[in-house]
Amino acid sequence: MPLVLGGSSAPAAAFSVDNSCIFDAASDSKLSKAVSSGAGNTKWCFSTWFKPSNYNAYQRFFWGGVISGAETGITLYGSARGDAYDSIIAIVFTADASTTSRSWTTASFYQDCTAWTHLLVRYDSTDVTADDRIQIWVNGTRISDWSSQGGGNPDLNETCDVFAANNLAVGREVDSGDNWSYNGYLAEVCVLDGTAADATDFGEFDETNATVWKPKKVSGLAFGTNGFYLDFKDSANLGNDANGGTDLTESNIDAADQATDTPTNNFCTWNDLNEYDGTFSQGNLIATGTGSYNAFGTFGMMKGKWYWENHLSRSHIMLGMAECNISDQGSPQSIWPYYMIYDNGGATYTYNNATSVVSAAITSLGNFADGVIVGIAFDADAQKMWASFNGTWYDVGSGTGDPAAGTNEMFGSVIPRYFGTIVPATGAGTASSEIIISVNFGNPSFTISSGNADGNGYGNFEYAPPTGFLALCTKNLGSDGG
């Protein structure tokens, strides 16, 4: 399992997607609207880019139809980790049609929480070729292997109950009896009524890497009566139809859910594929748990200079980096702890290859207080790490660190011990009450009072990154290593 880029996450593209929207399953996030019945029931399509946060149970990308009745759904089907069916992570298209109910499930698995993937579902019962009436395309390639094709192909001109009963929703089923909420990021959501567009209307293969599928500008498409286009550029109205139609209604979605983590600039998050005893939310940027738990980033940092921020809820928190290896099962397994700062509720220590060293400067600050922002600066080339507390940098002595100058570091000689990859890390020591750690790798998961980008113009931080230190995103990988 890759730590950073999947096949669809191009570090650069001629067309840049600026924004995405975070859907949080625990909050039942969704966008919905009433529609009118239309002739598009025989021909329509759904396109989106998605970056899931996890694969628990059923997660609906799109739903339309009658509450507790005939319906159409596009779903990411998975199961809870540890379950015997952990590897079953498929895309399912279900449609209650005029003659029968149909349910098609891909044989391919989609388990990568680190990358963006493009999905196109195409329904056209007017096509004279029966095998072409239902099509699913993933990253520009048509799916041909199915674990099931329940109901078979639609009949010629068979209607599909997607626009028939005035309910459409993105990110969740409208029916309150089915809690099938999507958990993760969506970008460039398009629904076309009366048109079955091609994958090449939404994306194209990269000119220099034929295996990389990337977005293209949406233009010249016929959206029809009930179609819409969500580009998520308006944080005050994330349900805005950029095509000019009726906006979708936001439910448990607000401006904080707008993100710059997109298919053309993929940002680091916490990795749900790691062993983890807490829970993630807000696009895997908030870690919550009681007792001992830890979390590890999706980006490896073997070269370059990197910066991120952490917003803390209380003491008993560890922050810094860990070494990550790939297990035989393909999931990252981390060696813990590695280079950390740690508040145990009374004194603060640094960890250097599991050896604790008292830090006079940090200890004098007292416990990590609720609301303090701890910045981490890591120079992988020089093998040094610094930590800041509400914008002030410290070293392990009594002085002030200076990441930009490369002096007075908190740690030096940060060398992997077991030939793994160094990744951002956080965690909690033993504690009886809930601990919440919110991270900002460039997309703040907590409210900030100011906005500071890195030297390349990426990221949005409370405090200015030290000169030369960058946000952990794919557009920065080519400029400073990674």
Q: Which of 114, 439, 471 is nearest to 304 (CA)?
A: 471
Q: Of 259, 291, 310, which one is at a domain's C-terminal end?
A: 259
Mean pLDDT of all residues in the chain? 82
Residue 1 falls within a domain, yes or no?
no
The CATH number of whichever domain residue 84 belongs to comes to: 2.60.120.200
Q: How confident is the model at residue 358 (pLDDT cuts 50, 70, 90)?
A: very low
Task: State whether 174 and 286 are in the same domain.
Answer: no
Task: State whether 338 and 366 are in the same domain.
Answer: yes
3-state DSSP of 206-229: CCCCCCCEEECCCCCCCCCCCCEE
Please determine, for residue 464, whether its predicted confidence score (pLDDT) is greater than 90: yes
In contact, 134 and 153? CB cutoff 8 Å:
yes
For residue 41, what is the DSSP state?
Answer: G
Instruction: Please give the Cα distance from 423 to 442 (Å, whole number).
Output: 16
Share of the chain above pLDDT 90, in %: 43
Bridge partners of residue 34, in order along the sequence: none
Task: State whether 253 and 389 are in the same domain.
Answer: no
Q: Are strands 373-379 and 348-352 parallel, antiparallel or unpaired?
A: unpaired
Task: State whether 142 and 46 are in the same domain.
Answer: yes
Residue 43 falls within a domain, yes or no?
yes
Helix (H) or strand (E) holding 478: helix 474-480
**Span 288-313, pLDDT tens digits:** 877 667 788 999 998 999 999 998 77
Task: State whether 225 and 317 are in the same domain.
Answer: no
Tokens 């005029």: give the residue. 98
User: Which of the two residues, 371 and 242, has the higher pLDDT score?
Assistant: 242
Residue 353 falls within a domain, yes or no?
yes
Token digits of residue 91:
């895309």
Q: What is the pLDDT of residue 415?
A: 65
User: Which of the two residues, 114 and 457, has the higher pLDDT score?
Assistant: 457
Q: Are strands 293-296 and 421-428 parallel, antiparallel or unpaired?
A: antiparallel
Residue 91 falls within a domain, yes or no?
yes
The Cβ-side half-sphere exposure at 315, using a 13 Å CA radius, reads 12
In contact, 315 and 430? CB cutoff 8 Å:
no
Helix (H) or strand (E) holding 476: helix 474-480
User: Which of the two residues, 80 and 344, has the higher pLDDT score?
Assistant: 344
Q: What is the pLDDT of residue 43?
A: 92
Task: State whether 218 and 342 are in the same domain.
Answer: no
- Structural domain for 303, as ranges: 279-480
Instruction: Please give the Cα distance from 44 to 226 (Å, whole number).
Output: 10
Task: State whether 206 and 294 are in the same domain.
Answer: no
Overall average pLDDT of the 222-231 stretch: 94
Q: What is the pLDDT of residue 387?
A: 85
Task: State whether 245 and 310 are in the same domain.
Answer: no
**Identity of the highest mean pLDDT range in 68-77, 200-209, 398-407:** 200-209
Peptide bond into 465 cis (omega under 30): no
Q: What is the pLDDT of residue 362?
A: 52
Peptide bond into 263 cis (omega under 30): no
Task: State whether 201 and 235 are in the same domain.
Answer: yes
Helix (H) or strand (E) holding 477: helix 474-480
Q: Of 259, 290, 322, which one is at a domain's C-terminal end?
A: 259
Residue 336 falls within a domain, yes or no?
yes
Whole-Å CA distances, 170 to 75, 237, 478: 11, 15, 34
Q: How confident is the model at residue 397 (pLDDT cuts 50, 70, 90)?
A: low
Q: What is the pLDDT of residue 392?
A: 87
The CATH number of whichever domain residue 442 belongs to comes to: 2.60.120.920
Residue 140 falls within a domain, yes or no?
yes
3-state secondary structure of 48: strand
Task: State whether 294 and 246 are in the same domain.
Answer: no
**Span 149-195, pLDDT tens digits:** 998 999 999 988 888 766 899 998 876 566 688 999 999 999 999 99
Instruction: Please give the Cα distance from 174 to 286 (Å, whole number).
Output: 26
Task: State whether 218 and 304 are in the same domain.
Answer: no
Please determine, for residue 10, whether its predicted confidence score (pLDDT) is greater than 50: no
Q: What is the pLDDT of residue 13?
A: 42
CB count in 10 Å sphere of residue 250 = 18
What's the structural domain count of the chain? 2
Overall average pLDDT of the 76-91 stretch: 60
Residue 115 falls within a domain, yes or no?
yes
Q: What is the pLDDT of residue 421?
A: 82
**Span 324-333, pLDDT tens digits:** 765 544 444 5
